[in-house]
Amino acid sequence: MRANVRRLWTRQISSWRHAIRDKDSSVNAFICTSQPGSTSPERLPLHGAGIAVKDMICTSDMATTSSSAMLKDFTPPFDATVVGLLREAGADIVGKLNCDEFGMGSLNIHSVHGPVVNPFQTASSSSTPWVERERRSAGGSSGGSAAAVAAGMCYAALSTDTGGSTRLPASYCGVVGLKPSYGLISRWGVISFADSLDCVGVMAKSVAATKRVFNILNARDTKDPTSASLSARETASKQATQAWPTFALSDLRIGVPQEYFPSELSQEVLNPVREAIKSLRCRGATVVPVSLPCTPYALSAYYVISSAEASSNMARYDGVQYGLHVPAPPGADLTSAAAIYTQTRAAGFGSEVQKRILLGTYALTADAFDNYFLQAQRVRQLVRDDFNLVFRVPDVLSPRTPEDRPNDQGVHVLIHPSAIGTAPPLGALDADSMATYVQDVLTVPASLAGLPAISVPLVRKGEEWPVGISIVGQWGCDEMVLRVGHFLENLQ
């Protein structure tokens, strides 16, 4: 009996490792794979689950590069808290996943390891061999995570999400992607892009699998100063249960924010999203239009804040303590730290990272600070206020909420498309165009407000590429968001 279980387990693990071996050369999701370890005890909750980890999350047994030349051979001296939790739960960490350099990008094309190719193949083109499928972007920055799940190379993947880096690739690759409430999952050991926005995300093929992994990671960590307190977690989950005690669709109020249907939204996204909302209503949910008027300003606020924090976080990569070091050329002024650092930083950072460092550095200069950084912080608060006005559940973190009384007219969750289009073809991409930033427009507000958001794939037929639909809830309502995601999954 025991031997059977073990064989089954071994077969499962090797199916992921087989898939990596067979498929990854045409996907480029993995940066490195681990050696198969010993079997974990079956009583453990993630026994038998092969999980891959975005390369921005530290592993002590594998290099952690953040897809940057700067950290090409860098192996951290510790495991991230999330990696430790997965190992303790019996998961097999199968490898490290490609991403945009330091998480900066929406298409996973800014990687020293090369772009990730979306593993999706439309139903109607199945006569073409899979490896010769249309080459489209997997989305970013967690493109490797989404692609690895989509291609069956792991049970689930850890991603990060600063402004949509989990939800966008989930949408492009047709998998589930959860960005939990800010502060629920520990960031200790997660390489910072913008600390006030960074979240660890979970990706899997189903909402149930996503939830299974999320439950393991959802724990207070005293090593992370932004980890939510136990009392905040308890209050939020109590409020959520109070607001939706029956878990029935007929008791659910869903808001459709009008600002999330911009003119750039493509028809191939709009139609299936409308269908999904219609069928939710058919099953008894109350669907109401809502307005989040500050949404148009969110993107610029996001770029100022995230770039400012990024410029600060990238300052440590100077070639002195670890990572890439490019020696100064002969004759250089050895007394000037700047002259020496320039060599390493010019060679180590890719163009997108350099661009954001410059933008962020400017936003923090004495002359620009008030007009950019502080202004962006004010917009961020307005975005939060927008959400608090429409949600039924009060914001337990904000002292601005007038009372902890539920707002009866408010909605439980918001629903909107995850992206303005389907995965763009890799060849046609103009890395510098504004369009690549506009992709983030639908995902950034939840990041600014620290809210839980999940992207669930909608069913596709024939020539259709994956489309994701997003559910956003109040802070701490991750359970609720997952539950609604589960309903959406079952509609189809």
Work out which of 135, 278, 281, 316 binds other proteins, going by CB under 8 A: 316
244: contact with other proteins by CB under 8 A: no
Site for other proteins in 383-412 (CB under 8 A): none
Span interacting with other proteins, options 84-92, 238-246, 275-283, 315-323, rule CB under 8 A: 315-323
Interaxial angle between packed helices 81-88 and 207-217, expressed in degrees from 0 to 180 and rounded to the nearest 10: 110
Which residues, in sequence order, are bridge partners of residue 352? none
Span interacting with other proteins, options 35-43, 192-200, 282-290, 468-476, rule CB under 8 A: 192-200
* Residue 165 annotated as catalytic: yes
Work out which of 20, 29, 52, 58 binds other proteins, going by CB under 8 A: 58
Which residues, in sequence order, are bridge partners of residue 417? 469
Instruction: Tell me the per-residue interface mask from 202 to 241 with other proteins, x by CB under 8 A, - otherwise.
Output: --------------------xxxxx---------------
* Residue 141 annotated as catalytic: yes
321: contact with other proteins by CB under 8 A: yes
| Chain Cα centroid distance, residue 274 | 24
Of 66, 67, 159, 165, the active-site residue reads 165
Instruction: Tell me the per-residue interface mask from 347 to 386 with other proteins, x by CB under 8 A, - otherwise.
Output: --------------x--xxx--x---x-------------
- Report the greatest alpha carbon distance in the chain: 75
428: contact with other proteins by CB under 8 A: no
Nearest to 244 by CA among 77, 483, 421: 483
| Identity of the residue, 289 or 399, whose beta carbon is nearer to other proteins in the bound complex | 399
Of 23, 54, 96, 179, the active-site residue reads 54
| Chain Cα centroid distance, residue 414 | 18
Minimum Å gap between C-beta 25 and other proteins is: 29
Q: Which two tokens stand for residue 109?
A: 């094309």
Minimum Å gap between C-beta 373 and other proteins is: 7
List Cβ neighbours of 42 (8 Å cut-off, separation of 6 or more).
5, 9, 48
| Identity of the residue, 9 or 74, whose beta carbon is nearer to other proteins in the bound complex | 74
195: contact with other proteins by CB under 8 A: yes
Minimum Å gap between C-beta 348 and other proteins is: 13
Span interacting with other proteins, options 29-37, 42-50, 334-342, 452-460, rule CB under 8 A: 334-342
CA gap 478, 240 in Å, rounded:
9
Count of residues binding other proteins (CB under 8 A)? 45
> Is it true that the peptide bond before 124 is cis, omega within 30 degrees of 0?
no
CA gap 173, 422 in Å, rounded:
9
Which residues, in sequence order, are bridge partners of residue 469? 417, 456
Q: Are 169 and 108 in contact (CB under 8 A)?
A: yes
Of 141, 171, 306, 455, the active-site residue reads 141
Q: Which residue has the tokens 């504004």?
A: 434
Minimum Å gap between C-beta 370 and other proteins is: 12
| Identity of the residue, 187 or 212, whose beta carbon is nearer to other proteins in the bound complex | 187
CA gap 294, 308 in Å, rounded:
21
Work out which of 89, 173, 190, 273 binds other proteins, going by CB under 8 A: 190
CA gap 240, 13 in Å, rounded:
37
* Residue 355 annotated as catalytic: no
Nearest-10 Cα torsion for 204, 208, 210, 212: -130
Work out which of 35, 41, 77, 329 binds other proteins, going by CB under 8 A: 77
CA gap 54, 96 in Å, rounded:
6
DSSP code per residue over 317-340:
-SSSSSS--PPPPTT--TT-HHHH
Backbone angles phi, psi at 19, to 5 degrees: -60, -40
| Identity of the residue, 368 or 491, whose beta carbon is nearer to other proteins in the bound complex | 368
Which residues, in sequence order, are bridge partners of residue 290? 257
Instruction: Give me the active site residues, please.
Output: 54, 141, 165
Which chain residues interact with other proteins by CB under 8 A? 57-58, 64, 66, 71, 74, 76-78, 80, 187-192, 194-196, 222-226, 308-309, 311-312, 314-316, 318, 320-322, 334, 337-338, 341, 361, 364-366, 369, 373
